[in-house]
């Protein structure tokens, strides 16, 4: 029989319209639940009004915001809008300085390093900006076998990586939940990788629960753009075209047991001020509903991709605005790990690690098999990659860069294995207590790296840093643990 169900009318400002449906009752109820949920997450009209109301922020008001933010109190959405509209060079300098202070109060002087591991570029979506899109007829499709995936992870482990981010296109035939679970288990069982995170397509709560049971850490999924009209234009077909289903992804992941989730937008698809405020609004929703927000926030800008329809950003984001976004995220959500990828040029990445970022990828390849194929030094775009990368420095080179910036490179994976996650992690971070663990764990993993993998130059730089920092570590048995590392013991952490 026909069933009545209601959905918000496009551009209705909250009004609902009634449709007839022949779908079964469970489907009707599910659709209504999803739409109710997403209406609670993002208020487009409110965000637009905030941006307009703060277009000419008062200088004294900006400095008041920055002074308050130093205490890890976060930002209101109005305050974030004011900072995102700030363009005066002297105020931007103060913003970046405050962001660096807040990052150090939460995490101390440490930067976490990792690499992505692409499993499959087969995809049924048709995202206009992506090299993996379905209609890219020039793309050379590949899904790694289990042995190939393990081989990629082993290659990275032999370089010194301890955490990887698995990445897959959306194709239930080639990279479904059973495939992902098998890959994760195989990497854990056959390599020295200590934690795997995953960027995989949104799924049902039941599948999220199965995924979590493998011991994977962070589940990451980007909304790409929170602007619903732009979203529909950029995602014309495939499962990803459903804005509401994607926006409610984190609800399902958390309900399934993921208390560490990673969010982000693809900067350049729409006004960066809107995207940043929408992500903050999304985080506030999660905080109110679950008691914690995102564990990580990624800040990727649109990059050219072989076979993409769109290679130039419709809304370009300058380097200055990019740094502004990082700083506002840091002040608005002091507890999050802000992730900067190799999409960005090396000069900018060198700056960003000094003003609020806390995690960076290194030596990344964005195609399946990219680490172990014979052309690993080939840096020009190819038809297997998701997008072009700008910073091609190796892990060892990035460890030197981080060290020379006055920060400690960290390959730590302790929080996920000590259950410092979700609400517990946020409480520690909000109080500035996380750095009690971050510094000693960074030094222990740094010492491991220097002994097992580092170049001579990195060893010379790093050992002096560790020797100088060790007396400042508050943990009473730290020196004893450090000596155990030097004698050959591994994977010691707080």
Hey, where are the domains in the chain? 3-41, 115-389+410-416
Q: Are the C-beta atoms of residues 95 and 324 closer than 8 Å to each other?
A: yes
pLDDT digits (tens, 9 = 90+) for 137-168: 988 999 999 999 999 999 999 999 999 999 99
Q: What are phi and psi of 141, to 5 degrees?
A: -80, 140
What distance in Å separates the CA atoms of residue 228 and residue 310, rounded to the nearest whole number? 18
Q: Which residues pair with 408 in a beta bridge?
A: 110
Q: Give the angle 193-195-197 at the CA atoms, nearest 5°.
A: 120
Q: Give residue 12's pLDDT.
A: 37
Q: Give residue 176's pLDDT.
A: 96
Q: Are the C-beta atoms of residues 256 and 202 closer than 8 Å to each other?
A: no
Give the pLDDT of the chain (494 residues) as one tens digit per residue.
333 333 333 333 333 333 334 444 544 444 544 554 577 899 999 999 999 999 999 999 999 999 999 999 999 999 999 999 999 999 999 999 999 999 999 999 999 999 999 999 999 999 999 999 999 998 899 999 999 999 999 999 999 999 999 999 999 899 999 999 999 999 999 999 999 999 999 999 999 999 999 999 999 999 999 999 999 999 999 999 999 999 999 999 999 999 999 999 999 999 999 999 999 999 999 999 999 999 999 999 999 999 999 999 999 999 999 999 999 999 999 999 999 999 999 999 999 999 999 999 999 999 999 999 855 444 445 667 788 889 999 999 999 999 999 999 999 999 999 999 999 999 999 999 999 999 999 999 999 999 999 999 999 999 999 999 999 998 889 999 999 999 999 999 99
What distance in Å separates the CA atoms of residue 33 and residue 13, rounded to the nearest whole number? 18
Q: How far is CA 494 from CA 208, 323, 424, 445, in A?
A: 28, 32, 15, 11
What distance in Å separates the CA atoms of residue 190 and residue 62, rounded to the nearest whole number? 52
The residue count for the chain? 494
Q: Give residue 40's pLDDT.
A: 86
Q: Which two tokens stand for residue 241?
A: 């075209």
Q: What CATH number does domain 115-389+410-416 carry, 3.20.20.150, 3.30.2130.10, 3.40.718.10, 3.20.20.70?
A: 3.20.20.70
What distance in Å separates the CA atoms of residue 264 and residue 220, rounded to the nearest whole number? 9
Q: Give residue 25's pLDDT.
A: 52
Residue burial 449-468, b: 16+ Cβ < 10 Å; e: rest: bbeebbeeebeebbeebbee
Q: What sign results for the dihedral spanned by CA atoms 195, 196, 197, 202?
A: negative
């Amino acid at each position: 029989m026909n069933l009545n169900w209601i959905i918000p009318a496009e551009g209705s400002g909250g009004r609902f319209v009634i449709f007839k449906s022949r779908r079964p009752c469970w489907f009707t109820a599910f659709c209504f639940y999803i739409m109710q949920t997403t209406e609670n997450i993002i208020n487009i009209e409110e965000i637009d009004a905030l941006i307009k109301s703060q277009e000419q922020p008062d200088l004294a008001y900006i400095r008041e915001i920055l002074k308050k933010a130093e205490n890890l109190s976060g930002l209101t959405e109005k305050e974030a809008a004011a900072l995102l509209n700030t363009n005066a060079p002297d105020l931007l300098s103060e913003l970046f300085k405050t962001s660096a202070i807040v990052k150090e109060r939460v995490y101390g002087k440490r930067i976490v390093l990792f690499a992505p591991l692409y499993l499959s570029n087969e995809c049924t979506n048709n995202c206009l900006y992506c090299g993996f899109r379905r209609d890219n007829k020039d793309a050379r499709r590949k899904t790694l076998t289990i042995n190939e995936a393990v081989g990629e992870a082993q290659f990275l482990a032999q370089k010194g990586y301890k955490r990887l981010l698995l990445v897959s296109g959306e194709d239930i035939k080639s990279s479904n939940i059973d495939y992902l679970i098998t890959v994760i288990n195989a990497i854990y069982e056959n390599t020295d990788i200590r934690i795997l995170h995953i960027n995989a397509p949104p799924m049902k709560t039941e599948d999220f629960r199965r995924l979590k049971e493998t011991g994977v850490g962070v589940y990451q999924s980007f909304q790409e753009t929170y602007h619903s009209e732009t979203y529909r234009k950029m995602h014309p077909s495939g499962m990803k075209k459903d804005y509401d289903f994607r926006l409610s992804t984190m609800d399902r992941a958390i309900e399934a047991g993921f208390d560490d989730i990673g969010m982000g937008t693809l900067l350049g698809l729409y006004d960066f001020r809107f995207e940043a405020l929408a992500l903050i609004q999304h985080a506030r929703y999660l905080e109110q509903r679950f008691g914690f927000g995102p564990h990580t926030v990624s800040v990727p800008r649109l990059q050219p991709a072989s076979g993409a329809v769109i290679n130039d950003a419709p809304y370009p984001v300058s380097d200055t605005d990019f740094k502004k976004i990082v700083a506002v995220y840091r002040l608005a959500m002091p507890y999050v790990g802000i992730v900067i990828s190799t999409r960005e040029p090396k000069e900018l990445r060198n700056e960003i690690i000094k003003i609020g970022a806390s995690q960076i990828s290194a030596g990344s390849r964005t195609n399946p098999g990219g680490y172990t194929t014979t052309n690993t030094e080939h840096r020009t775009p190819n038809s297997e990659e998701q997008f072009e990368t700008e910073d091609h420095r190796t892990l060892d080179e990035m460890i030197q860069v981080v060290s020379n910036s006055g920060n400690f490179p960290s390959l730590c994976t302790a929080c996920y294995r000590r259950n410092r996650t979700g609400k517990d992690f946020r409480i520690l971070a909000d109080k500035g207590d996380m750095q009690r663990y971050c510094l000693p764990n960074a030094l222990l993993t740094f010492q491991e790296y220097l002994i097992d993998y580092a170049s001579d130059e990195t060893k010379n730089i790093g050992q002096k840093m560790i020797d100088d920092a060790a007396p400042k570590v508050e943990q009473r048995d730290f020196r004893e643990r450090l000596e155990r590392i030097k004698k050959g013991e591994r994977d010691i952490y707080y």
